[in-house]
Structure 1
Amino acid sequence: MELSAITLDCADPLALAEFYHRATGLPLHPANRADFAAVSREGAPMIGFQRVDGYRPPRWPGQDAPQQLHLDFDVDDLAEAEARLLSLGAARAAYQPDPERFLVFTDPAGHPFCLCPRRPRAAG
């Protein structure tokens, strides 16, 4: 079994796909439409965005509207990645449980995601 996709609920799939396209550099899927859109690259899991009527964004860190899921992204430079993501419409979460290890943000639809400093991979 191999992971092929991760799909997030949202109100506007095309807008959220554009955010993640600009944030990650993953290409927009050629079959994107108003009710479902995605970013994908050959050999990697697709990130999909599906329209949900009455969508309620999660509220980090509370659970009144649960997280549903969150994504983690490794980055080489936290400050540079943060500045770029904020300019794309992300927001830095007020609550940061472990800012020495990762930073929590929310995408334009309210989904929390984390930026983690890239660590060298162990040999072997």
Structure 2
Amino acid sequence: MPIAKLRTTVLDCPDPHALAGFYAQVLGGRIKNGSDPEENWVDLFVDGSLRLSFQRAPGFVPPQWPRADHSQQIHLDLDVPDMEKGQEQVLALGARPLDLDDEGGKRDFRVYADPAGHPFCLIRT
């Protein structure tokens, strides 16, 4: 029997409202506690099963992938049916490419940073 149940995954960031909006456009879902841009905590509920939370962190320093001295600490793997279309869409939303070398399609993922600098991967399904 498990000791606990996962409630949410929390990402520190300088602007919770903006980062929740980025992930809402990538993953869908609905934002709660996100009507005030000065909010310190914003939740994103996706398909009733996944919850991501965004917490304002004064002095936030973004991770630098893949450097150990500025560790990524956490990253998200996101499945996409069409890599090229998914890449075009996340870049249009403000993602930044970190590693797009999928070795001519031999590797099934590409790495990006969200607008706050957290790494995430698009994975070809």
TM-score by length of 2: 0.84
Trace 1:16-27 onto structure 2 (pairs within 5 A): 16-27=19-30
2-side partners of 1:94 and 1:78: how far apart? 13
**Given that residues 93 and 106 in structure 1 are in contact (C-alpha distance below 8 angstroms), is that contact kept between their aligned partners in structure 2?**
yes
Select between 94-103 and 4-13 the one with higher mean Cα deviation.
Answer: 94-103
Q: Which residue of 1 aligns with 2:59?
A: 54
Unaligned runs of 5+ in 2: none
Match of 1:43, SS state, is coil
Aligned to 1:37: 42
* 1:8-57 Cα deviation digits (max 9, x unpaired): 0101000000100111112112x235201121035312101101110000
Whole-angstrom CA distance in 1 between matches of 2:93 and 2:102 = 23
Q: Which residue of 2 is the match for residue 121 of structure 1? A: none
**Percent of aligned pairs with the same amino acid:** 38
Give the drift of 1:117.
1.0
Q: 1:91 to 1:8 in 2, by over 3 A?
A: same
Return structure 1 stretches of 4+ with deviation > 6 angstroms. none
Higher share of residues assigned strand: 2
TM-score, normalisation: structure 1: 0.85
Aligned residue-pair number: 117
Q: Which moved more, 1:38-47 or 1:108-117?
A: 38-47
Task: Tell me the CA shift for residue 110 of structure 1.
Answer: 0.3
Aligned residue in 2 for 1:111? 118
